[in-house]
Amino acid sequence: MLSFVSRRLATGVGLIATLAVLTFFFLQFGVSDVAQRIAGQQAGPDAVAVVEERIGVDRPVQVQFADWAGSALTGDLGRSWFSGQEVTEAVMSRMAVTVSLAVGSVVLTALLGITLGALAATRRGWSDRGVQFLAVLGQAIPGFLMAMALVLVFAINLDWFPATGYTRPSESVPGWLLSITLPVVALTIGSIGGVAQQVRGSMIDAFERDYVRTLRSRGLPRRSVVLQHVLRNAAGPALTVLGLQFVILLGGAVIVETLFSIPGLGPLALTSTSQGDIPVVMGIVIVTGVVVVLVNTLVDVVQAWVNPKVRLS
């Protein structure tokens, strides 16, 4: 198991390194006038040159990347060119908000998706057709439209939840739950169908296996066969989909956080990218990449525990 995890982590490190190189060099196309924006539109060439020297954009790109990478390897992601705030502090404080939304959505997706998928596989009929319809509907409606509809119904008309804003758990746990409920639901609706369909397909396939027929022929209750054997067989594909959904939800949180005025990575990423604030953008990319690699590695470990054959792949 240790060698299995080591291989996955090594692959993840290579992925993050590649992502860092590509992101840094692509960002160079958008920083041609960043020094002018920092110095002010009325600043003269001499003032702009001073800013360029201060932030280091007057040097060759490869030298800039080498300096950034050397600092990043020690845990120093630099400071924002515009606010002067440490990138690590700015990103980590917002990452906790974004991850809480993504984790909450994944948990809700898992509970509802597995339940609906199991119902569709075991009962078929209307349950099966209902799950298929919900899956298509959830994937067809854009996330921002779903978020706006939720705000209109549950925040404005019914006044059950706040329309915008975010309450930290340290301030009020009930207030925090109320502030993240609509964003989490908005993120979850489009994900449930994919998980439900995956669980349904895996369970239907498992019902056709010889070992399931043997267990049922021996008189084991259908409930025991489903819970102890069929669902376990469907766990691997479902975990894969959930891991992928987590990555998608991190990206989807950018739009949802903006709509709900939540101080997560979304607004920070949009602002930093529009400004050309390379240290902050790179910090967001690297920290997000690390989170994704860790989540995918955890999913692989759980899959290897559920199905030892995965360790050989």
Which pLDDT value is given to residue 309? 56
What is the DSSP secondary-structure string of 261-289?
A: T--SHHHHHHHHHHHT-HHHHHHHHHHHH
Q: Cα(148)–Cα(118) distance, rounded to whole angstroms?
A: 30
Q: Cα(278)–Cα(153) distance, rounded to whole angstroms?
A: 39
Which pLDDT value is given to residue 306? 63
Of 13, 96, 100, 24, which is closest to residue 56 (Cα–Cα)? 24
Which pLDDT value is given to residue 308? 59
pTM: 0.78
pLDDT tens, N- to C-terminus, the chain (313 residues): 667 677 778 888 888 889 889 988 888 776 667 877 787 777 777 888 888 888 887 888 888 899 989 988 888 888 888 888 899 988 988 888 888 888 888 888 888 888 888 787 777 777 777 777 777 777 777 767 788 888 888 988 888 888 888 888 888 888 888 888 888 888 888 778 778 887 887 777 777 777 777 766 776 667 667 766 677 776 677 777 777 777 777 777 777 888 888 888 888 888 888 888 889 999 998 988 888 888 888 877 777 676 655 554 5
Contact residues for 307 (Cβ-Cβ < 8 A; gap 6+): 236
